Structure 1
Amino acid sequence: MGGPGAAGSGARPVDGVLFDIDDTLVDTRGAFARALAGTTSAYLPHLPAARGGDVLAHWRADSLGYYRQYTAGELGYEAQRMARANDLQAEFGGAALDLDSFHAWDAVFEEGVQSAWAAHSDALQVIAELRADGVAVGALSNALVGYQTRKLARAGLAGAMPMLVGLDTLGFGKPDPRVFLEACRLLGTEPARTAYVGDELDIDAQAASAAGLIGVWLDRPGARRVEISADDVAAAGVIVLPGLAGLRAALGF
């Protein structure tokens, strides 16, 4: 099977590129750090500020899998967020949150995270270059379409690409192959001629590849959400990049 630049595949290596949003186009890790600093100050006041990195790492790892249960349609949004908040409280010695106190916690969290949404410095230029190349671009995410549309707008990316598929589009999310195929349909490109770029090796790059797309894992510098071995990366058989600046070259432009 040929790669992106296989002979006879057309004038361009690919016709479309789909992007994940969180920690791919938007610095969600940074936004989470700001949001959790607020909730830690209010709900874990005994915790030294130096433990902020531990709090962030625990939240991002979501080791009990609550968010993935949500994206699989097994758990509601509020239920997974409340479960994650209480898991964080328990891990760092805080009081359990009942429904009312969770709503207050979540208001602090959301104010912090939304006020900190910002695009990665390499995002807008790469999208513009792809569009100038005649490549269709769009976004596919495991969050709700409206929420992610607001996020793109706040990050200055709303005019750069459409938000095509979110969790509410089909009622489930990645890694189900149907979400990738629906995004390709809306983008107007064939899966084999479409790349998907995301920051998670399994549910982004590998899942896209399994659905027939070109999987690209964006392994940005900094702490990973979960530990991934070199053997896992090699076995994945996907394109691996440390940033978006190398995307066009990796795809054969």
Structure 2
Amino acid sequence: MPDPVGLFDLDDTLIRRRQVFERWAVEFSAEHQVPLEWLLKTDPAYSSRRTEFFELVKATFGVRPDVPELHAQYRRRMPELVEPDPQVCALLTGLRQAGWRLGVVTNGMVDNQTSKLRRAGLYDLIDTVVISDAVEIRKPDARIFHHALTRLGAEPGRHVVMVGDSLENDIAGAHRVGLTTVWVSHGLALPGTALRPHHTIRTVNEAAALLMERKA
């Protein structure tokens, strides 16, 4: 049987993006007098549309500077607010010691995503990192998963596990490639119309027991 391979999403899977955003929002609210509650409430709908988010912030509250600079400041600051999670570090370390080959497959910009991984203490625990900005392919496109597997010297199959929080980008995308899927639900119920993942866990830390059991 081929050696097991674990692919992980980054934001809201290995890194708690919402917690990092909350730290940023506290700072931004104090500096620009934008209500913190508004920032936290508005964020989820624009989590992958940051330019539109800052356009809305500026239109609603008239903050300065202009939108491109607000976005640039955000991109610089967010990775700086990432903090290591000892449990996630232990998860990846344990999997590597058990013979798993590990990869990260993430949508985002190279500088941001790489900085987050380094700040979180995860970069050196991963065998390969595939970032959409670098390969010009975004999840859920099947090609980005194939790209990661090629780098790891692996073939698609159920011995490859994709762990992520997005039912569309991570779960549906990996299903199309024939991978085993693990949905990080954060306690949310599975929508009735959603493609069903093979496994569901509340947080990424629960992946350790599940993946070690597969290895055994």
Instruction: Please give the range of the TM-score, normalised by the shorter of the 2 chains.
Output: 0.7 to 0.9
State which of 127, 132, 147 in structure 2 corresponds to 1:167. 132
Q: 2-side partners of 1:203 and 1:189: how far apart?
A: 21
Opposite residue 5 of structure 2, the aligned amino acid is G
State which of 184, 192, 197 in structure 2 corresponds to 1:218. 184
Q: Spell out the pairing of 1:2-17 with structure 2 (5 A cutoff).
A: 10=1, 15-17=4-6
Contact 1:140 1:164 in 2 (8 A): yes
Q: List runs of 5+ in structure 2 lacking aligned partners.
A: none
Q: 1:34-66, CA deviations, whole angstroms, 9 ceiling, x for partnerless residues? A: 2122223333x263x4x2xx4224212228xxx
Aligned to 1:58: 42
State which of 154, 160, 167 in structure 2 corresponds to 1:201. 167
Q: 1:161-190, CA deviations, whole angstroms, 9 ceiling, x for partnerless residues? A: 144211123312101000011111111122
State which of 58, 62, 77 in structure 2 corresponds to 1:95. 62
Aligned to 1:241: 201
1:18 correspondence with 2:18: no
CA root-mean-square deviation: 2.5
State which of 83, 90, 93 in structure 2 corresponds to 1:128. 93
**Cα–Cα, structure 1 residues 217 and 57, in superposed 2: closer, same or farther, change >3 Å?**
farther
TM-score by length of structure 2 reads: 0.84
State which of 189, 194, 200 in structure 1 corresponds to 2:154. 189
The CA deviation at 1:229 is 4.5
State which of 53, 63, 66 in structure 2 corresponds to 1:84. 53
Contact 1:20 1:140 in 2 (8 A): yes
- Greater alpha carbon shift after TM alignment, 80-89 vs 196-205: 80-89
Aligned to 2:210: 250
Q: Percent of pairs identical after alignment?
A: 25
Aligned to 1:149: 114
Query: What is the DSSP-based 3-state SS (H/G/I as helix, E as strand, rest coil) of the residue aligned with 2:173?
Result: helix
Q: 2-side partners of 1:140 and 1:57: how far apart?
A: 27
State which of 14, 28, 34 in structure 2 corresponds to 1:39. 28
Q: List runs of 5+ in structure 1 lacking aligned partners.
A: 1-9, 68-79
Residue-pair matches, total: 212
TM-score by length of structure 1 reads: 0.73
Contact 1:131 1:137 in 2 (8 A): yes
Query: What is the DSSP-based 3-state SS (H/G/I as helix, E as strand, rest coil) of the residue aligned with 2:209?
Result: helix
Query: What is the DSSP-based 3-state SS (H/G/I as helix, E as strand, rest coil) of the residue aligned with 1:159?
Result: helix
Opposite residue 200 of structure 2, the aligned amino acid is V
Q: 1:50-90, CA deviations, whole angstroms, 9 ceiling, x for partnerless residues? A: x2xx4224212228xxx3xxxxxxxxxxxx53322112444
Opposite residue 148 of structure 1, the aligned amino acid is Q
Opposite residue 211 of structure 1, the aligned amino acid is V
1:231 correspondence with 2:192: yes
Contact 1:164 1:183 in 2 (8 A): yes
**Cα–Cα, structure 1 residues 17 and 107, in superposed 2: closer, same or farther, change >3 Å?**
same
**Cα–Cα, structure 1 residues 185 and 112, in superposed 2: closer, same or farther, change >3 Å?**
same
